[in-house]
Chains A and B, each alone.
Chain A
């Protein structure tokens, strides 16, 4: 339902296929795997698929890093956090 509605709304609000293609190519630039390939060799479906897997892998990385941090932080004190804060906000 939502996809059909969006197609009708696209026609009426003037969002062209070109604009969508432009957004898809911009997404492609963000993806590490297929960034270097030219857009005409990569289909939109492939870009969307890579996008989905990339988002999922980023979520997994967040989870892994959270595990690491939970183990590491158990042994540190808050003074070091202040040091890092000053390092990262330069």
Chain B
């Protein structure tokens, strides 16, 4: 299993570097458009976590891929479900069609609906087998919790008492 202490430090290190870059205005937007600061920070958070995890997880590979492709501009207009966003593919439409076709009724429609939602929420979850999606989800949640914890610590530190 991953060493949460190590992950926390790696993430904190990378994220703080990004924060000081953003703060000093040295972040260039490759999209040619300036992002609002909080958007840069939230993207930096996901990117730092994905960097800390590296390429050993499908979801972190997917996040790094999306950021390099620069989907951030669409991300700010897409749903808040995953801020780093997709390249505008009509996934909900495909999903609805798939759901109607795969109505075998083995597991009940509620699980089908949840699986579809989970696939959309977890980066890279679209093409996976279900058991792998579950494992990726567990790791993704663990990392998100670490990310939120570090961000909260930083925010608390800076909050004037």
**B122 sits at the interface (CB 8 A):** yes
Q: Taking the nearest CB of chain A, how far is it from the CB of B28, in angstroms?
A: 18
Interface SS, A side: helix
Say which residue of A2, A20, A58, A89 sits within 8 Å of B13 (CB atoms).
A89
Interface SS, B side: helix
Q: Taking the nearest CB of chain A, how far is it from the CB of B42, in angstroms?
A: 4
On whether the beta carbons of B138 and A69 are closer than 8 Å, the reply is no
In this complex, how many residues of chain B approach chain A with their Cβ under 8 Å: the count is 66
Interface size class of A (residues with CB under 8 A): 35 or more
On whether the beta carbons of B140 and A89 are closer than 8 Å, the reply is no
Q: A55-B122, A73-B23, A84-B154 are in contact. Are A61 and B148 (CB under 8 A)?
A: yes
Q: Enumerate the 9 nearest inter-chain pairs by beta-carbon distance, A residue then B residue, closest first.
A: A48-B114, A66-B42, A23-B134, A70-B37, A70-B38, A72-B158, A88-B12, A66-B41, A65-B151
* A–B Cβ pairs within 8 angstroms, 12 of them: A13-B129, A20-B130, A27-B137, A55-B121, A58-B145, A62-B45, A68-B155, A68-B159, A69-B41, A73-B19, A73-B37, A74-B23
